[in-house]
Amino acid sequence: MDETGTTPDVTLEPSQWVEAYGDYLYRYAFSRLRDGNAAEEAVQETFLAGIRFLDQFSGDGSQRAWLLGILKRKIIDHVRQRMRYDRDGAGDTNPDFSGDLFDAKGFWKPGAAPWSNTPDSPLEAEELWAIVRKCLETIPKGQADVFVLSVMEELAGDDICNELEITPSNLWVRLHRARLGLARCVGSKWAHSAEVSEYVE
Amino acid sequence: MLNCKEVTRLVSESFDRQLTLRERFGLRLHTMMCGTCHLFRQLQERIYEAIILCGRRDSSESTEPPLPDEARTRIDSAVQTAITNRSGTRKLDH
């Protein structure tokens, strides 16, 4: 079977969905959830919900986009669920999280900003994305998740607060911590990759 | 004058809301003199750009791994079961 099953504008029987849309939806879920098991569950739940609510698919627009819409809901559900069990990254419990980055006067501590040593030549977006993608796995889930919902899923701040039952100030703290953590991780990987390539040359 | 801690906070928030004139002025003044914060801001902009260009692209162009075979089989059998159950109970739905 060729890949025509995955073109956006066809309507298939649910029995063909996994074959046609499985990879597409899984890649999407995996990039947002960064966890294979969670992504598999979200995809399965999407197909099952799609079967249950098949009558509601109007036929306008593509079936794949309709299923993606369901998946986006399921991704939020998964984030909410794991945030309930895992309070890491919660800003309210530890307001002075940046003590290891800044001194008492609020200036950078030595070594706290690895991006200062990155090379002048900018990375291509593709290379940078590959690093960011890895770094999202190194920062606490509770920070990475809100960052992904905000920047990749483009959810408004109010919606994220409502969905995850967190306060706006908690959301901003999480987003800020995510950005600080990403900058440190991306900065050090970037500086390191430059050292390696200089060494090879 | 703002310190680095306050400036990084403003840089973060600049992605999520419009900064006030005073905040933008304070940010500019600080990053003119502080190379670390200047680069921090630049890095955040690049990260954001990379996510828009690559992170948000359509799944069919994604570099993420495909659905693992074992999961595919499991999900497919759950889907086939759901289809069978649905056709069995369909008349009771309404």
CA atoms within a 13 Å half-sphere pointing along the CA-CB vector of A56: 9
Q: Which among A28, A102, A175 is the nearest to B5, CB-wise? A: A102
In a domain? residue A149:
yes
The better pLDDT of the pair A90, B66 is held by B66
A24/B contact by beta carbon, under 8 A: yes
Within-domain flag for B78: no
* Shared-domain flag, residues A149 and A195: yes
List the 70-129 stretch of A: residues with Cβ below 8 A of B: 98, 101-102, 105-108, 113, 115-116, 118, 122-123, 125-126, 128-129
Give me the residues of chain A with pLDDT under 70, please.
1-10, 86-97, 120, 194-201
Q: Are A70 and A49 in contact (CB under 8 A)?
A: yes
Whether the pLDDT of residue B48 is over 60: the answer is yes
Average pLDDT over residues B79-86: 90
List the CATH number of the domain containing A43. 1.10.1740.10
Write down the pLDDT at residue B25: 97
Residue of chain B minimizing CA distance to A125 = B50
A197 C-beta neighbours (distance < 10 Å), count: 10
Distance CA B45, CA B11 (A): 9
Shared domain for A33 and A102, answered yes or no, is: no
The total of structural domains in chain A comes to 2
Q: Do A62 and A105 sit in the same domain of this protein?
A: no
A180/chain B closest Cα distance in angstroms: 8
Q: What is the pLDDT of residue A5?
A: 45
pLDDT of residue A87: 61
Q: Is residue A90 part of a domain?
A: no
Q: Are residues A112 and A191 in the same domain?
A: yes
Picking from A4, A154, A79, the residue whose alpha carbon sits closest to that of residue B60 is A4
pLDDT greater than 90 at residue B86: no
Residue at A105 is within a domain: yes
The residue of chain A with its CA nearest to that of B82 is: A48
Do both A74 and A121 map to the same domain? no
What residues contact residue B16 under an 8 Å CB cut-off, 6+ apart?
Answer: A150, A157, A172, A175
Find the CB nearest A48 among B65, B72, B82.
B82
Residue that terminates a domain, selected from A63, A85, A107: A85
A131 within some domain: yes
Of chain B, the percentage scoring pLDDT greater than 70 comes to: 94
Q: Are residues A102 and A81 in the same domain?
A: no
Interface test with A, best of B42, B57, B74, B75 (most A CBs within 10 A): B75
Please tell me if residue A10 touches chain B, with a CB cutoff of 8 Å.
no
- Is A91 within the bounds of a domain? no
Q: How far is A1 from chain B (nearest CA, A)?
A: 16
Q: Tell how many helices (H) and how many strands (E) occur in chain A.
A: 7, 0
CB contact under 8 A, B72 and A22: yes
> Looking at the partner chain, which of A48, A128, A150 has a beta carbon nearest the beta carbon of B50?
A128
Q: Are residues A26 and A67 in the same domain?
A: yes
B8 is a domain residue: yes
Do A74 and A107 fall within a single domain? no
Question: Could you tell me which of B54, B52, B5 has the C-alpha nearest to residue A105?
Answer: B5
Same domain, residue pair A71 and A120: no
Per the structure, the complete domain to which residue B42 belongs is given by: 1-57
pLDDT number for residue B22: 96
Tell me the residue range of the domain where A77 lies. 3-85
Q: Is B90 on the interface with A (CB under 8 A)?
A: no
Residues of A in contact with B62 (CB under 8 A): 27-28, 31
| Separation in Å, CA of B11 to nearest CA in chain A | 9
Pick from A31, A61, A85: which residue ends a domain?
A: A85
- Alpha carbon of B53: minimum distance to chain A alpha carbons (Å): 7
The domain tally of chain B equals: 1
Residue B83 covered by a domain: no
| pLDDT score for B60 | 83
**pLDDT for B91:** 54
**Chain B partners of A116 at a C-beta cutoff of 8 Å?**
35-36, 39
Token output for A98: 């940046």
Same structural domain for residues A67 and A104? no
Q: Are residues A115 and A182 in the same domain?
A: yes
> Has residue A166 been placed in a domain?
yes
Q: Measure the CA–CA gap between B70 and A33, rounded to whole angstroms.
A: 19
- Outline where B15-68 has alpha helix (H): 21-33, 35-50
Q: Which amino acid is at A102?
A: F
Which parts of A1-35 fold into alpha helices (H)? Answer: 17-33
ipTM of the complex: 0.88
Task: For residue range B10-35, list pLDDT tens digits in order.
Answer: 999 999 999 999 999 999 999 999 99
Is residue A63 within 8 Å of residue A10, measured between CB atoms?
A: yes
Per-residue pLDDT band for B89 (boundaries 50, 70, 90) equals low
Please indicate, yes or no, if residue A110 is contained in any of the structural domains: yes
Report the CATH number at residue A137.
Answer: 1.10.10.10
Is residue A14 one of the residues assigned to a domain?
yes
Give the per-residue pLDDT at A8: 57
CB contact under 8 A, B56 and A152: yes
What local confidence, expressed as pLDDT, does residue A114 receive? 87
- pLDDT score of A75: 98
> Can you tell me whether residue A2 is helix, strand or coil?
coil
Give SS3 for B60.
helix
